[in-house]
Amino acid sequence: MTSQPTKKTAAPAVGGHGLQAGLKDRHLSMIAIGGVIGAGLFVGSSSGIATAGPGILLSYALVGTLVVLVMRMLGEMSAANPTSGSFSAHADRALGRWAGFSIGWLYWFFWVVVLAVEATAGAVILEGWIPAVPQWAWALIVMIVLTATNLVSVGSYGEFEFWFAGIKVVAIAAFIVIGGLAVFGVLPGVDSDQAGLGNLTGHGGFLPNGPGAILTGVLLVVFSFMGSEIATLAAGESENPQKAVTKATNSIIWRVAVFYLGSILVVVSLLPWDSKAIAEDGSYVAALDSLGIPHAGQIMNFIVLTSVLSCLNSGLYTASRMAFSLGQRGDAPKGFGRTTGNGVPRTAILASVAFGFVAVFFNYKFPDSVFLFLVNSSGAVALFVWLVICFSQLRMRRIIQREAPEKLVVKMWLYPYLTWATAALIVFVLGYMLTDTEHDGRKTVLLSLLVAALVLIVAFVKEKVGAGRGTAAAVAAPDAEDAEDASLGTVKTG
C-alpha cells in the first residue's frame, strides 16, 4: 500500500481526534499571556485593596505563587501528553474515570456560568454607550457573535483572542510604565504629595487591618487567576503542542509578577489605599484619574470590555473543548466528541452556549435566586481543579517515568514535597473560606461542594453500571466460546 503525502495546508488531526492544529505560535503565546489577565483584575481588585490595604500585594503574591506551582504540575503532564481534555484527561488516567468525569463536568459548569456573568458585564458597558439597545439584547448579540467565531474554526478563535489579549497586555503595560513614572515623580502634572511609595506604609501601615486581612484578600483575588490553564487546553490544537505547553509553563512566573503584582503595586502607590475614589470608581479608574488622564473612566471601560470579550471567547472555547474531550472518552453524549470537516466540535460548542443562554436568562429573570445559586455553586471549582491537578501529578510523574521518561521536558520542582505543600495550601484556603461569612466564602464552598458531590455520585454510578456491563460481557463471552466449541465438536464427531 502506497502512503499518500500529507498536504501542509490541511492541519493534522490532534492525537487521532477530529480537532485540527489550527492555532499558530503567536496565537498560543498571546493566549498564554492574556489568559492569566481576567476582567476580575480590573473589576475586583478594589474590594481586595479595601480589605487588606497595601497588604493585598501579599495576597496576590501568595495566590500567584500557588498558580505558578499548579501550572508547573499541569505543564509537566501536558507537555508529556498534550490533549484537549488537559487536567481532566490526566486525572482520568492517574486517579480513575470518576476523577476525570467529575472534574471535567465541574470545569465545564464553571465556564458556562462565566459565559453568563461576562455577557452581562459586557452588556452593561455597551448599554452605557448605546442606551437605545437594551441590556439583554447586547448580551444576546455578544454571545451570538462569539459563538459564530468559535464555530468557523479554531483559527478564528485564536485570531480574535490574539487581538483581545493583545489589547489587555498593551493596556496594562502602558498603565505600569506611566504609573511607575508618576510614582517616582518623573511624570509632569502629578501631585507628588499624593503619589509615591510612601502610600505603602503612610496610612495605617502596610497591614492596616492586621495580618489576617491577607488571607481574606486571598479569598477575594483567587478567582481572578482562573484561566491560566487555558493555554494547556489550546496547545492540543497547535502545530507543536509540547513546545507550546513548555513555553506557557515557563513564562507563567513573569506573567503573574508583571501583570498582577506590578499593576497593583502601581495602584496602591499612586493613591492611599483608603482613598474614596478607589471604592467609588474602581482601583484602575481612580489611579488613571489621579494622573489627570482625561476620560479615564471610558478608557478603562473599553479595556474591561475587551477583557470581558476575551473571557467570553476563551470561556466558550474552553467549555466546548472540555465537553469534546468528555465525549471522546464516553463521559458525555457521543455527539460532543464529533467534529466538522474543519475540526470544530460544533455540538459541544452549541451545547455549551445553550446553557450559557439559559444562565443569562436566569440572570435577568431570577438574579437573586437561581443565578446567584449558579454563581456560588461554581465559585470554588477553580480550587477543586487545582487540587485535582496536584493529586494527578503525584501519580502521573511515576507513570511517565516508567513509560516514557524522555517526555519529562517540564518537571515540577522538589517533587513530591512541593506538590504536597501546594495541595495542603489549597485545602487550607478552602478551609479558611468556610470561616468567611462576610464575603460569602462559606456559602460558595458549601454550594460548590454540594454540586461536586452530586457530580461524584453520578460518576460512581456510571462507573459501577459500566463495570457491571463489563462483567456481564466477560461472563457471556466464555459461554459463547463454549457453545462454539461444542458446535464445532458436534460437527467433527458427526
Give the pLDDT of residue 322. 94
Give the pLDDT of residue 465. 84
Give the pLDDT of residue 429. 92
Q: What is the CB-side half-sphere exposure of residue 123 using CA atoms within 13 A?
A: 21
pLDDT tens digits along 192-201: 567 888 899 9
- pLDDT exceeds 90 at position 401: yes
Look up the pTM and report it: 0.87
Confidence of residue 368 (pLDDT cuts 50, 70, 90): confident
Give the pLDDT of residue 14. 43
Confidence of residue 449 (pLDDT cuts 50, 70, 90): very high
pLDDT tens digits along 253-269: 888 888 889 999 999 99
Mean pLDDT of 407-421: 95
Mean pLDDT of 94-114: 94
> Does residue 485 or residue 375 have the better pLDDT?
375
Confidence of residue 493 (pLDDT cuts 50, 70, 90): very low
